[in-house]
Amino acid sequence: MKDGCIVALPTFGRACCELLMSIRARISALRLVVLFGLSLLAAGCAGVAVDDRGSQPIPAKLVKEMAARGMTPADPIMIRIYKKESELEVWKRNSSGRYALLKTYPLCRWSGRLGPKMREGDRQAPEGFYTVTPELMNPRSQFYLAFNLGYPNNLERALGYQGSALMVHGACTSSGCYAMTDDGIAEVYAVAREALAVGQPGFQVQALPFRMTPRNFALHRNDPNMPFWRNLKQGTDVFAVTKQPPNVSACGGRYRFTSAAEPAMPGEDPLAPCFQEMPDPEVASLVAQREAQDEQTIGQLSQSSPAVSPAYVDGGMHPVYREILRRSGPAKLATLTSGAGKVPVSRPDAALADPYSQGDTDGE
């Protein structure tokens, strides 16, 4: 025998044996290739970093701040966004059952102008009341982490407003979104994720043109969006007197708000006439008192302060980031607000020309 073949076989037999040996050699070579490939794969897997950005814990410092305010990571949250001031607030329910402010974050960039979003591609960041449910959380955003506002909501769809994928996300770039840097969204995302994980079905986002103060209403009194903003203020007033996110529905082409203690209004045509509801008399009285006081102050301020009409320069940026942009340029700001500066700052010249000043907080 030689290499497992019988030398004395006839020519035909020898040919078969040689063919068999060739096949066996190729199979052996293939096995080596497969084994080598598997070893490379195993080695590669061992070196691959796990993408855990969506599961990072709430920073210990923030958990400590929660405890000092009678809050836990499991308590429900609410978020408020103010365009003019370029700020985002996280509110959380505390041990009293009422919501209190946990932390305010500076927004790095938003686009468009004050006013609602109506059309796809208009660069407007939305204004209105939204509910963010677990499926709207995005742990793999191209802008680090994000949550979708759910625009258009029921009212906006009924009004024919169009747009999609309007987010709160990281980095410092916006085309209809609210950008709050990678570090900022990492904290807010973790806080929201923990609240949703233990049973909050969705958290309310109140996206507002500015802090709903008499001074801001007086300054912007000639803006064509004023009726819409007054409608939004009805919701923030309910929150102000109850410290509970209001129930939100729509009728007559407007938002309708009731206190969280009242039954939620049934789903109906947002454009249909509003039927007469019987609101909680105590809440209604407190809201009416607040509105009357604010209207008096707005009238007084309107007599002494000229109305403003800011020029359009495409959105805003919080002064903290605008100063960095002014001193160090867009590349440096991009490095500080996104991983390795991979996401450039959107329209930095417009950000430097942000016409909106920090608003007052009286009455909030």
Could you give the C-alpha distances from 267 to 63, 225, 243, in angstroms and in order? 37, 26, 24
Dist. CA 272–CA 252, nearest whole Å? 5
- Backbone torsions φ then ψ of 91, nearest 5 degrees: -105, 145
Catalytic residue among 108, 169, 220, 318: 169
In the sheet that holds 137-141, the strands lie side by side as 109-110, 178-179, 167-169, 144-148, 137-141
Residues 6 or more apart in contact with residue 119 via CB below 8 angstroms: 161, 162, 163
Whether 318 sits among the annotated catalytic residues: the reply is: no
Question: Residue with structure tokens 């019987």?
Answer: 278
Query: What gap in Å lies between CA 207 and CA 148, rounded to an integer?
Result: 13
Instruction: Point out the catalytic residue in the list 108, 177, 251, 318.
Output: 177
- The alpha helices in 166-221, defined as continuous H runs, are 182-197, 214-219
- Can you name the residues that pair with 81 across neighbouring β-strands? 88, 207
Are the beta carbons of 229 and 214 closer than 8 angstroms? no
Cα–Cα dist 223/244, whole Å? 29
Let me know if 169 is a catalytic residue.
yes
In angstroms, rounded to a whole number, what is the distance separating the alpha carbons of residues 173 and 348?
9
Name the token pair of 125: 């960041």
Positive or negative: CA dihedral 107, 109, 113, 118: negative
Enumerate the active-site residues: 169, 177
